[in-house]
């Protein structure tokens, strides 16, 4: 199996993309730690993993709170003895233009989408260094998605890309591989009993497993000589998405 005996911390482990990654990682041999605010969704994911023969534990908390981020990592290390993979799948947004975003909502969106990744990485990377290496996967958004939603979301997700690339450079010599996955619009439902790759034509709606399989590759030893990647998973939408009309001078 591609992640045999690896320990993976999934932050933002709720439904759809994060649940698909958690089940797929467990299917490939990883021991999974599920961290998120919503306990009910986490427990549902844990049960699905165990029903499919995998191992998982749940840690409830808020990734934008430093003490909770530290507890996520401590839960992984205390339960399984180490930490090999951090998968940051946190965020959320809405459509608002320009300065329609109130100050408190700007702070909330930046905290959810960017601060959370900083905090979990701050605590996870030292644990990985002590273990001799590891992989950090940060979920941002495709260019089309960043432009389609609010300015706060665009700023935060663009920050995730830059943060990931800088972290990859900083920890290159300590065997820490850092990548950024940029999903497009993911509309497909997730069937936990059908963990095969989605397949089919490119011109179709994105499915949670499309992102999960990208994460699996980047987490695996097959990508051992790859770091700092920014991987867009959007079915080619960014290639054809029309640029906004020019305005002004």
Considering Cα of 179, then 180, then 186, then 189, what sign does the dihedral take?
positive
> What residues are labeled active site?
153
Retrieve residue 124's tokens.
Answer: 């996870």
Determine contact, residues 100/152, Cβ cutoff 8 Å. no
- Short-list 1, 62, 14, 7, CA closest to 31: 7
Determine the angle formed by the axes of helices 66-80 and 116-131, rounding to 10 degrees.
30
CA distance 129 to 241: 40
Retrieve residue 228's tokens.
Answer: 């700092």
Determine contact, residues 89/139, Cβ cutoff 8 Å. yes
Determine contact, residues 21/211, Cβ cutoff 8 Å. yes
């Amino acid at each position: 199996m591609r992640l045999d005996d690896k320990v993976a911390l999934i932050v933002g482990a709720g439904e759809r993309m994060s649940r698909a990654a958690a089940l797929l990682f467990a299917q490939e041999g990883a021991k999974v730690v599920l961290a998120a605010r919503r306990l009910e969704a986490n427990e549902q994911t844990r049960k699905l993993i165990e029903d499919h023969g995998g191992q998982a534990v749940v840690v409830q908390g808020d990734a934008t709170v430093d003490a909770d981020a530290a507890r996520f990592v401590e839960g992984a290390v205390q339960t399984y003895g180490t930490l090999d993979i951090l998968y940051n799948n946190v965020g959320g947004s809405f459509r608002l233009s320009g300065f329609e975003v109130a100050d408190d909502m700007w702070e909330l969106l930046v905290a959810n989408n960017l601060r959370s990744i900083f905090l979990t990485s701050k605590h996870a990377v030292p644990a990985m260094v002590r273990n001799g290496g590891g992989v950090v996967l940060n979920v941002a958004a495709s260019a089309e998605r960043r432009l389609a939603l609010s300015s706060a979301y665009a700023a935060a997700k663009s920050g995730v890309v830059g943060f990931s690339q800088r972290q990859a450079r900083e920890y290159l010599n300590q065997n820490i591989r850092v990548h950024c996955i940029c999903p497009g619009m993911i509309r497909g439902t997730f069937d936990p009993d059908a963990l095969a790759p989605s397949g089919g034509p490119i011109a179709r709606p994105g499915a949670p497993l499309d992102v999960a399989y990208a994460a699996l590759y980047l987490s695996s030893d097959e990508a051992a000589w790859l770091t700092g990647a920014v991987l867009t998973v959007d079915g080619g939408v960014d290639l054809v998405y029309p640029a906004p009309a020019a305005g002004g001078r």
